[in-house]
């Protein structure tokens, strides 16, 4: 069997072990410590001055805390992009709130401003104002930031910016992770940088950071004994994992460039294929980290399609994956409301995520190219 080519695998820069070693040498093997503070500081500097970062155990935990900080309560409705990973939506259920799913638009594959506004108007007409909007920069592609923010402002509904896949992306030269009322990041093993597992809540308000850290460390009141007047969580990032994050921050921009080069590779590979479109920025306002490079087959292709190509890759031990299956089609959310026109369903049916790691080699690219050429010309 040939060596496996992964969709997106961890890529160490070299200094991660040094910082992890420091945690051991100084015995900071705890969910706090110097690596946690340094990692937060380095993210704050990277994103923009005025960003406040709380390092957490996962991106999912960050979304959960964001909903709490925005006062979402049992029975509230929360609007959420349907085409996304389930972690964008599950925390809505943790809160006992109700997710309402909204379709994508074809340019960024993200939250469609028209369907979002239609959904809000309809909920208002039914006497229920949604409490928050979860918007996602899918595969690193920024959503229509200005259009979404205009709607958020018009109806006074805060946006949770799910930037789990978009560290290093930007919209009109402003970094993803700095939009919305609260933003979240993920450092899971397959993301643009990793801490093996981890995430962060990002806000423009110091008080959000303070409150997030308070809730993430069991909501201990100030007292010599253990006293609690609120529900707490165990969501803080460990100082060992934060050491990996510190090292990863040193190579973040390099790795973004390598992922963007992978995207260029696919643009060239599929340039003359009328059947296939490589997912790309709709204009220079958008700058994607191209966390994953994706393609879309034209609708109603009978002979060549995303499943066929995926199986051809699999036979050569190359991993590729369908796009995220929209949440409104998931068994867990089968009773949820959905506002849309079928765009995300069509993307799911015809799309495919391709190997995109920053650590892919020339020989990996040759193998990928061979499979593509053979499949399309067979
Ligand atoms: C990975 C991911 C998350 C969750 O992050 P974890 O750190 O894995 O909990 C949330 N939203 C999106 C869009 C993601 O891709």
Q: Is 165 close to ligand 1, i.e. is its CB under 6 Å away? A: yes
Ligand 1, residue 87: give the atom nearest the CA. 10
Q: Which of the listed residues 188, 193, 202, 294 should we mutate to test ligand 1's pocket, taking the one with most ligand atoms within 8 A of CB?
A: 188
Atom of ligand 1 nearest to the CA of 198: 7
Does residue 60 line the site of ligand 1, with CB under 6 A? yes
Average pLDDT over residues 214-226: 94
- 62 CA closest ligand 1 atom index: 9
* pLDDT of the residue at 30: 84
> Is this model's pTM higher than 0.85 or not?
yes
Tell me the pLDDT tens digit for each residue of 364-377. Answer: 999 999 999 999 99
Q: What pLDDT, on a 0 to 100 scale, did the predictor assign at position 71?
A: 98
CB 95 near ligand 1, within 6 Å = no
- Check residue 91 and give its pLDDT: 98
| 297 Cβ contact partners less than 8 Å away, ≥ 6 residues apart | 275, 276, 304, 305, 306, 350, 351, 352
Centre of ligand 1 to C-alpha 60, Å, is 6
Measuring CA to CA, which residue among 247, 245, 234 is closest to residue 30? 234
- 350 three-state secondary structure: helix
Contact 97, 74 (CB under 8 A): yes
Which residue, among 270, 327, 267, 262, has the nearest Cα to 304 in the 3D structure?
270
Closest CA to 353 of 5, 1, 2, 63: 5
Give the atom of ligand 1 at the shortest distance from the alpha carbon of 197.
Answer: 7
User: Quick check: 56 pLDDT over 80?
Assistant: yes
Does the pLDDT of residue 133 top 80, yes or no? Answer: yes
Question: Ligand 1 within 6 A of 57 CB?
Answer: no
Tally of helices (H runs) and strands (E runs) in the chain: 12, 14
Alpha-carbon distance 20 to 38, whole Å?
Answer: 13
87 pocket-lining for ligand 1 (C-beta < 6 Å): yes
pLDDT in tens, 147-205: 999 999 999 999 999 999 999 999 999 999 999 999 999 999 999 999 999 999 999 99
Ligand 1 centroid–CA 88 distance in Å is 7
Radius of gyration of the chain (CA): 21
> How many angstroms separate the alpha carbon of residue 63 from the centre of ligand 1?
9
Does the beta carbon of 81 sit less than 6 angstroms from any atom of ligand 1? no
Can you give the pLDDT at residue 1? 83
Residues 6+ apart with CB under 8 A from 127: none
Q: Residue 302: pLDDT above 80?
A: no
The encoded tokens of residue 342 equal 């079928």
Ligand 1 centroid – CA 249 distance (Å): 18
Residue 220 has pLDDT above 90, yes or no: yes
Helix (H, G, I), strand (E, B) or coil at 367: helix
Scored b (16 or more CB within 10 A) or e, 119-136 reads: bbeebeeeeeebbbbbbb
* pLDDT of 301 above 90: no
Say what the pLDDT of residue 178 is.
98
Structure tokens at 230: 């609120």
pLDDT value of residue 31: 84
C-beta 192 within 6 A of ligand 1:
no
Q: Which two tokens stand for residue 233?
A: 């969580």
CA distance 117 to 108: 17
Residue 297: pLDDT over 80 = yes
Per-residue pLDDT reduced to its tens digit, 312-344: 999 999 999 999 999 999 999 999 999 999 999
Task: Look at the chain and count its residues.
Answer: 378
Average pLDDT across the chain, whole number? 96
Q: What's residue 170's pLDDT?
A: 98
Ligand 1 touching residue 88 (CB < 6 A): yes
Share of the chain above pLDDT 90, in %: 96
Q: Is the pLDDT of residue 49 over 90?
A: no
Tell whether the model's pLDDT for residue 246 goes beyond 90: yes
- The whole-number pLDDT of residue 35 equals 96
DSSP of 12-35: --SSHHHHHHHHHHTT--BSBSHH
CA–centroid distance, residue 185 to ligand 1 (Å) = 8
**300 has a pLDDT exceeding 80:** no
């Amino acid at each position: 069997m040939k060596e496996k080519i992964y969709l997106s695998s961890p890529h160490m820069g070299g200094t991660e072990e040094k910082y992890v070693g420091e945690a051991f040498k100084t015995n900071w093997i705890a969910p706090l410590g110097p690596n946690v503070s340094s990692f937060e500081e380095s993210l704050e500097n990277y994103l923009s001055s005025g960003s406040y970062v709380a390092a957490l155990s996962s991106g999912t935990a960050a979304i959960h805390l964001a909903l709490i900080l925005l006062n979402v309560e049992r029975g509230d409705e929360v609007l959420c992009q349907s085409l996304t990973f389930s972690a964008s939506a599950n925390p809505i259920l943790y809160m006992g709130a109700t997710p309402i799913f909204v379709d994508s638009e074809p340019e960024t594959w993200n939250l469609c401003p028209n369907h979002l506004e239609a959904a809000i108007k309809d909920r208002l007409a039914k006497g229920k104002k949604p409490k928050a909007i979860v918007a996602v920069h899918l595969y690193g592609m920024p959503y229509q930031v200005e259009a979404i923010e205009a709607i958020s402002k018009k109806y006074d509904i805060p946006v949770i910016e799910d930037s789990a896949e978009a560290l290093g992306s930007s919209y009109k030269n402003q970094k993803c992770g700095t939009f919305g009322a609260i933003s979240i990041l993920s450092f899971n093993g397959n993301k643009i940088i990793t801490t093996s597992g981890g995430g962060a809540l990002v806000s423009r308000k110091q008080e959000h950071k303070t409150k997030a850290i308070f809730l993430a460390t069991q909501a201990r009141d100030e007292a010599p004994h253990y006293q609690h007047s609120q529900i707490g969580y165990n969501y803080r990032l460990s100082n060992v994992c934060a050491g990996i994050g510190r090292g990863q921050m040193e190579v973040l921009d390099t790795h973004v460039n390598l992922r963007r080069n992978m995207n260029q590779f696919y643009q060239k590979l599929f340039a003359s294929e009328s059947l296939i479109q490589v997912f790309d920025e709709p204009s220079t306002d958008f700058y994607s980290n191209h966390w994953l490079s994706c393609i879309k087959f034209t609708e109603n292709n009978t002979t060549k399609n995303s499943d066929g190509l995926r199986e051809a890759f699999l036979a050569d031990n190359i991993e590729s994956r369908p796009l995220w299956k929209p949440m409104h089609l998931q068994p867990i959310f089968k009773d949820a409301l959905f506002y849309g026109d079928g765009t995300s369903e069509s993307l799911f049916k015809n799309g495919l995520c391709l190997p995109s790691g920053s650590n892919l080699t020339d020989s990996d690219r040759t193998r990928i190219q061979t499979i593509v050429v053979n499949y399309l010309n067979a």
